[in-house]
Amino acid sequence: MAFFHHFLLLLVICSFTVESAELWTQSCNDNSITNSTQISSNIDALLVQLVSGTIKNGYITTSYGKSNYKVYGLSQCRADVSRTTCSTCILDAAKQIRQLCPNQAGASIWYDDCFLRYDTRKFAGQVDTTVGIYFYNVENVTDPDSFNKQLETLTGQISSEAVKPGNRGFGRGKIGWSKSEDIYGLVQCTRDLSQASCTQCLDTAVGNLRNFCEDKKGCRVLYNSCILRYELYSFF
Ligand SMILES: *[C@@H]1O[C@H](CO)[C@@H](O)[C@H](O)[C@H]1NC(C)=O
Ligand SMILES: *[C@@H]1O[C@H](CO)[C@@H](O)[C@H](O)[C@H]1NC(C)=O
């Protein structure tokens, strides 16, 4: 399908909980910085700004450096996490991203509670779903028809909530499915996006559930511009 430029398919068989920040995955682009110590030191300086801005306001877009060595960054916490959780997460993200993508001038890192990205290309305000990472529960639901109907309703509701003014691109909720089970869903856009761009990203994520998470008991769709997650248990 033409709309996937790159994607990785990953499985998470068991879910787990940890006290510290939970790292989901990272994406390192192929823009190498091995011969530029200037870009590398600008990334370090950018990360300091990203961390302090995120701890202060929960979100920041910024840049550092001049001309060809300029780097652009964005970081944010999930809109429903506490300041303490946010600080822990973003500090860990800034540390880990340099270890996981040491030679790249562009990288993204996704945690349960926060997200951080930088690049030598300016990206703020633009929808980016070129890298798609999908984690899904290998188990299938027993009654796909009713499940998918309810999932569609839920993802529609939380997507509308996310783009309401003041909601910072964030929506979450649950919906009854079987007699005893609920579906829990969460979406978060990066906060640089307009309402229309956030909608566009979430529509792509919802549309891809059919392609990558069909009938699965849980799934996470991760893009640079938004994330979508649903599970049959409460995770927020
Ligand atoms: C790295 O070296 C190559 C080849 O000399 C050059 O074309 C490229 O611009 C350099 N990259 C940076 C970031 O300086
Ligand atoms: C779920 O359904 C798919 C498609 O029918 C199948 O390939 C897969 O083995 C099933 N997974 C499990 C855990 O039963």
Task: Find the ligand nearest to 37 CA.
Answer: 1
Mean pLDDT value of segment 15-32: 77
Secondary structure element (H or E) that encloses residue 24, with its range: strand 23-28
Alpha helices in the chain (DSSP H): 37-57, 83-100, 144-162, 195-212
pLDDT confidence band for 2 (50 / 70 / 90): very low
What is the pLDDT at residue 35?
67
How many percent of the chain have pLDDT more than 90?
A: 85
Torsion angles phi and psi, residue 51, rounded to 5? -65, -50
For residue 58 the two structure tokens come to 């929960």
The dihedral region occupied by 58, where left means phi > 0, alpha psi between -120 and 50, and beta the remainder, is left
HEC string of 76-98 equals EECCCCCHHHHHHHHHHHHHHHH
How many percent of the chain have pLDDT more than 70?
A: 91
Separation CA 131–CA 32 (nearest Å): 18
Cβ of 214 closer than 6 Å to ligand 2, yes or no, is: no
Q: Which domains does the chain have, with CATH numbers?
A: 14-124 (3.30.430.20), 132-231 (3.30.430.20)
Residue tagged 């919906």 (tokens): 175
Which strands make up the sheet holding 23-28, listed edge to edge? 23-28, 107-111, 114-119, 71-77, 59-64
CA distances in angstroms from 151 to 139, 173, 202, 205, 230, listed in the order given: 16, 11, 14, 13, 8
pLDDT > 50? residue 19? yes
What is the pLDDT at residue 21?
87
Which residues lie below 8 Å from residue 187, measured CB to CB, with a gap of 6+?
A: 155, 158, 159, 162, 170, 171, 172, 202, 205, 226, 227, 228, 229
Residue nearest to atom 3 of ligand 1 (CA): 35
Cβ of 9 closer than 6 Å to ligand 2, yes or no, is: no
Task: Find the ligand nearest to 214 CA.
Answer: 2
Cβ of 138 closer than 6 Å to ligand 2, yes or no, is: yes
pLDDT > 90? residue 80? yes
Reference 164, options 37, 79, 43, 103; nearest CA is 79
Ligand 2: residue of 139, 140, 147, 148 to mutate (most ligand atoms within 8 A of CB) is 140
Mean pLDDT value of segment 155-183: 96
**Adjacent-strand bridge partners of 231:** 184
Residue nearest to atom 4 of ligand 1 (CA): 35
pLDDT confidence band for 10 (50 / 70 / 90): very low
Give CA 87 to chain center in angstroms.
17
What is the pLDDT at residue 31?
78
Separation CA 187–CA 108 (nearest Å): 18
